[in-house]
Amino acid sequence: MYDDAREHVLQSVEENPQTSTRELAQFFDISNSTAHKIMQDAGLHPYRLHTHQGLSGDDFESRLEYCEWALQQPDGFFQKIFYTGESIFRSTGVPYSTATHYWAANNPHWLRELDHQRRCSVNCWGGVVDDRVIGPYFFEGAVTGASYTRFLLEELPVLLEDLPLELRHNMWFQQDGAPPHFALQAQNSAVELFHDRTIGRGRLLTRPWPPRCPDLTVMDFSFWGIVKDDVYATACDDCEEMKDRIRASFRRLDGSQAMRNATASAKTRMEMCFQEGGIRAIIR
């Protein structure tokens, strides 16, 4: 009985990998536990769907061109990229990657209280170069071309003072294509600071950053997720406390193995992207 059901269930799963054990149990008139056992015995696991930003036809070519250029650079290049970006932290946020389940013999009725009457949000800038974490810097209100330009000229040089001089003179400044970064005055400021070592959107910058590529920048595929896991570990509805948590997370990550691994992973991701013709680079 079990062997017959197993053969039919596995054949059905091969034809439709997205079917559920409940659907299999109903269709083949077996218990849900039997359907689970068949899947386990066959070494099959229920992987979750992951969503990501879609790519258009032109995106593949621009991703390929960027990855090819980056991979042709001298050894140590990826440790010289100064990845930067902004992220918004909200009091209603939840951890990005930390498991939000609770293992127990009995249901603990685990709850997390959210106070929607007292909301706060913090707009934070951060950067990573090799294993060094730069920042944070907090913008008041929305980031505009003018406020971002002022940050580049007045605040960023101060944040970089503790970096070794050789690294500061050789690192490549990378930003994504957010509208404030694209502003002409912001492009001019980036060039003023980093000369011909700029990566981003805009004709004044040295190397175009391909659009819709969070999988290729340390800030998006690693850094912000780790920081938000730290910040959202417990509920927080006070902006100053949230800023303190962000600062603490930045300090914890500065010089860490996690950042060294993330920087090394950037090269691996670009190799995968290039080998697969610009396809999204996803590393589990």
pLDDT digits (tens, 9 = 90+) for 35-87: 888 888 888 877 654 444 456 667 889 999 999 999 999 999 999 999 999 99
**Residue 20, domain extent:** 2-41
Q: Are residues 160 and 75 in the same domain?
A: yes
Q: State residue 93's pLDDT score.
A: 63
Residue 47 lies in a domain: no
Q: Are residues 123 and 155 in the same domain?
A: yes
Q: With a cut of 80, say whether residue 282 has pLDDT above it.
A: no
Q: Are residues 64 and 13 in the same domain?
A: no
Q: State residue 118's pLDDT score.
A: 54
d(Cα 48, Cα 100) in Å, to the nearest integer? 14
Q: With a cut of 80, say whether residue 164 has pLDDT above it.
A: yes
Q: Are residues 27 and 64 in the same domain?
A: no
Q: State residue 114's pLDDT score.
A: 47
Q: Are residues 34 and 134 in the same domain?
A: no
Q: With a cut of 60, say whether residue 25 has pLDDT above it.
A: yes
d(Cα 89, Cα 220) in Å, to the nearest integer? 14
What is the chain's mean pLDDT, rounded?
86
For the chain, the domain total comes to 2
3-class secondary-structure state, position 142:
coil
Q: State residue 169's pLDDT score.
A: 94
Q: State residue 256's pLDDT score.
A: 97
Phi, psi at residue 129, to the nearest 5°?
Answer: -135, 120
Query: Tokens in use for 202?
Result: 């805009």
CA–chain centroid gap for 77, Å, is 20
Residue 169 lies in a domain: yes
Kind of pairing, strands 198-200 and 172-174?
parallel
pLDDT (mean) for 93-110: 48
Element (H, E) at 126: strand 121-129
Q: Are residues 6 and 99 in the same domain?
A: no
Return the CATH number at 94.
3.30.420.10
Q: Are residues 19 and 119 in the same domain?
A: no
Query: Tokens in use for 234?
Result: 């417990």
Q: With a cut of 50, say whether residue 22 has pLDDT above it.
A: yes
Residue 52 lies in a domain: no
Render pLDDT for 124-148 as a digit per residue (tens, 0 to 9).
999 999 999 999 999 998 899 999 9
d(Cα 82, Cα 210) in Å, to the nearest integer? 16
Percentage with pLDDT > 90 across the chain: 60
Q: Are residues 82 and 222 in the same domain?
A: yes
Q: Are residues 180 and 244 in the same domain?
A: yes
Q: Are residues 131 and 264 in the same domain?
A: yes
Cis peptide upstream of residue 180 (ω within 30 degrees of 0) = no
Q: Are residues 207 and 79 in the same domain?
A: yes
255 vs 25, more confident = 255
Q: How confident is the model at residue 24 (pLDDT cuts 50, 70, 90)?
A: confident
Q: State residue 52's pLDDT score.
A: 46
Dmax over CA atoms of the chain, in Å, equals 75
Q: How confident is the model at residue 30 (pLDDT cuts 50, 70, 90)?
A: confident
Residue 10 lies in a domain: yes
pLDDT (mean) for 234-240: 89
116 vs 267, more confident = 267
Q: Are residues 22 and 99 in the same domain?
A: no
